[in-house]
Structure 1
Amino acid sequence: MTDTMTHEGLQKLKVAWDRGCEFLGTEYAILGGAMSWVSERHLVAAISNAGGFGVIACGAMTPDLLDTEIKATQAMTSKPFGVNLITMHPELDKLVDVCLENNVGHVVLAGGLPARDTITKIKDGGAKTICFAPILALAKKLIRSGADALVIEGMEAGGHIGPVSTSVLAQEILPHITDVPVFVAGGIARGEAIANYLRMGASGVQLGTRFVCATECIAHADFKKAFIRASARDAVTTVQVDPQFPVIPVRALNNEGGRKFIETQHEVIAKYKAGELDLESAQLEIEHFWAGALRRAVIDGDVEYGSVMAGQSVGMVKKEQSTQDILQELVDEAANSFA
């Protein structure tokens, strides 16, 4: 491809995601997905420094821990980054205060439908809100509640997922939402896919799995090796064995932990049916099975029994690379697609 064609592709790409870049304050409209234990200061700063938009995964952090993490990230980058807050967190209001006190420019609200009051508080504090929209009706409701941007995430993503694929969500939502920028997530690992969603009306994209094997990512070497060895079909959803005992679907690499989880469900349900456990205790025992499992995998490297959360795009993660190289590859592929 000639330099002229490459330049033409870059110009078209710039136009295509200009709205997303302007909203984020970045060179590239690529958000880093918020992954607990993974999306901390080192990876977040690296993504932002390389032209993307890093996002701290607050997860179960206390307000004090989040305050420390934000300040540490600000010491590593002067570029914009965001903070992802779980709407069901018991101290959500205090976490919002921490973000606003530290002049975080963008707050991502995930893990449930955020209250209008929360969105208003963030906006009144001078920050922008990004919300997850699983269906078109909720996308419209979130905009009415004041959301400044939306993320639509398909079931190909890693971690907690919904039931609908990225391509279907994009077709259902993108033609009808033009009031605010919409970022597409789930199963994206190459620039050609980014270009296609931009053509469909997206303002940008969000990637998580592709960044796990960044050199700046603190994940354990064995966690990264598991990603590099895996194929798309290895990233499976957790199995629910009885509808009376609902399990929130999580996509992760199939391992002994996943098989043990199925066995545990059967054992707990048998105890319940034998009268040894009441319904609530049985449900709690099943829910608590994975407690600490993600940390064991990411930080300790227990990829056999820990939870190795990964999206189906894991099959396209072939090696450890710098964040700069990952973003440059994505941009080059997207630009070539536009050329």
Structure 2
Amino acid sequence: MTDYPKTSRLMQRGTDFLGCESAILCGAMSWVSERNLVSAISNAGGFGVIACGAMTPELLDAEIAATKAMTDRPFGVNLITMHPQLFDLIEVCSRHAVGHVVLAGGIPPKGSVEAIKGGDSPARVICFAPTLALAKKLLRSGADALVIEGMEAGGHIGPVSTSVLAQEILPALAEDHLIFVAGGIGKGQAIAGYLEMGAAGVQLGTRFACATESIAHPDFKKAFFRASARDAIASVQVDPRLPVIPVRALRNKGTETFTAKQIEVAGRLDRGEVEMGEAQLQIEHYWAGALRRAVIDGDVEGGSLMAGQSVGMVREEEPVAQIVATLMAECEEALGRR
């Protein structure tokens, strides 16, 4: 592996924690972050993360086993906190001795962090923190590391930009805790800046979505290559009763369909045809299905093309190893100019 002394020094805490050569995590992208992409990222010196999403324990078991067959390097598993079988999924990770579990989608439910860190094969816990107050709470609750992700990211997003989160959280916590920065990162120069601010590493999703090893449909990848940053827009909440977390995706007919879906569900709620919980679940199910149609089936008009604003920097299909090498070289060059 090429030597990147300045970058490696600043990433040291992150690489020691993850057990890899480059503290570059892959964001867990449903339908995309599976065995092929995850193993390729870990084999390239980064840290791949399986997106469990709505998988059953049996499917996750098979996915972890298949990934382990393709790499002997460390990788993690991303679990959604609202999954009805969360503790069964945690057990699957433990059985496979997965070293790192990422909890996403909300505050970890009671006992989940303890379940991950206990047992015969304890793992390290990584959580997402959208505010400084929540970051402190998660660390007190046992999180070993945090990811702070700004609104520039793809998929479900929060309301604050990456640069603001970094300025707020890194000076307060990075000296004593492991903080990874995510959202809108497409170049090594940005990585250099966050490392200098105290980040232990970074997480990227959009840049890896169109890698050669990604199983995403060719038409899905072509949509990314054609897009600019302004094409990746956040969804609009139509009815305040439906607490829809905004989703950033490329503008298409599917974006318009989601707005119509919210109006339809709100109408059913008004007529008493569905309860609030069911209404919210219907919204989430929409996204799961729409994303699969785009990634797997190649429906780039009606499906959901979840992408971060860094999509404008994705111009061609590249092998994962080349993407990682480019990011590291850009970061090293930027640090050398300081």
Query: Which bin holds the TM-score, normalised by the shorter protein?
Result: over 0.9
> 2: CA distance between counterparts of 1:57 and 1:138?
23
Alpha-carbon separation, structure 2, partners of 1:25 and 1:283: 39
Is 2:311 the partner of 1:293? no
SS state of the match for residue 171, structure 2? coil
What does the per-residue CA deviation read over 1:262-293, in whole Å, with 9 as the maximum and x for residues that have no partner? 233334545655x4745636655555443411
**Structure 2 equivalent of residue 63 of structure 1:** 57
The code of the aligned residue for 2:127 comes to: C
Check if 1:72 corresponds to 2:66: yes
> Superposed, which structure 2 residues align to 1:299-310 within 5 Å?
299-310=296-307
Q: What's the counterpart of residue 327 of structure 2?
A: 330
Q: Give the structure 2 partner of residue 317 of structure 1.
A: 314
The answer to whether the 8 A contact 1:188-1:194 is kept is yes
Quick one: which of 173, 196, 200 aligns to 2:197? 200
Kindly state the Cα deviation for residue 121 of structure 1 after the two structures are TM-superposed.
1.8
Distance between the aligned counterparts of 1:265 and 1:199, measured in 2?
Answer: 43
Secondary structure of 1:175's match?
helix
Give 3-state SS (helix, strand or coil) of 1:95's partner: helix
- How far apart, CA to CA, are the structure 1 residues paired with 2:268 and 2:177? 50
Query: Residue 222 of structure 1 is aligned with which of 219, 223, 228?
Result: 219
Counterpart secondary structure, 1:115: coil
**Deviation digits for residues 117-150 of structure 1, max 9, x if unmatched?**
2112212232111111111111111111111111
- Provide the rounded CA distance (Å) in 2 between the counterparts of 1:104 and 1:284: 30
Alignment length (residue pairs): 331
Q: Using the alignment, how far apart are the partners of 2:168 and 2:10 within structure 1?
A: 20
The match for 1:3 is none
Aligned pairs for 1:104-253 within 5 A: 104-115=98-109, 117-124=111-118, 125-177=121-173, 178-253=175-250
**Greater CA drift, 282-291 or 126-135:** 282-291
Identity of aligned residues (%): 67
Post-superposition shift, 1:13?
Answer: 1.0
Inter-partner Cα distance in structure 2 for 1:126 and 1:284 = 32
Q: Distance in 1 between matches of 2:272 and 2:15?
A: 57
Scaled by the length of structure 2, what TM-score is found? Answer: 0.93
8 A contact 2:158–2:245 mirrored in 1: no
Question: Does the 8 Å contact 1:130/1:149 carry over to 2?
Answer: yes
Task: Verify: 1:12 aligned to 2:6, yes or no.
Answer: yes
The 1:13/1:256 distance shift into structure 2, 3 A limit, reads same
1:100 corresponding residue in structure 2: 94
Give, in angstroms, the shift of residue 245 of structure 1: 3.2
Whether the 8 Å CA contact 1:20–1:203 is kept in 2: the answer is: yes
For residue 200 of structure 1, report the CA deviation from its aligned partner: 0.5
Matched, 1:25 2:25: no
Q: Deviations over 1:142-196 (max 9, x none)?
A: 1111111110000100001111100000011001113321100000010000000
Unpaired stretches in structure 2, ≥5 consecutive residues: none
The alpha carbon displacement at 1:261 in A equals: 2.0
Distance (whole Å) between structure 2 residues aligned to residue 61 and residue 285 of structure 1: 17
Which one-letter code corresponds to 2:326 in the other structure? E
Aligned to 2:83: 89
Given that residues 116 and 145 in structure 1 are in contact (C-alpha distance below 8 angstroms), is that contact kept between their aligned partners in structure 2? no
Whichever of the two has the greater Rg, that structure is 1
Structure 1 residues 11-43: Cα deviation after superposition (integer angstroms, max 9, x where no partner): 111111110011011110000000000000000
2:35 maps to 1:41: yes
SS at match of 2:176: coil
| SS, match of residue 243 in structure 2 | coil
Provide TM-score, normalisation by structure 1.
Answer: 0.93
Structure 1: runs of 5 or more not aligned: 1-5
> Structure 2 CA distance, aligned partners of 1:58 and 1:252?
20
Contact 1:116 1:146 in 2 (8 A): no
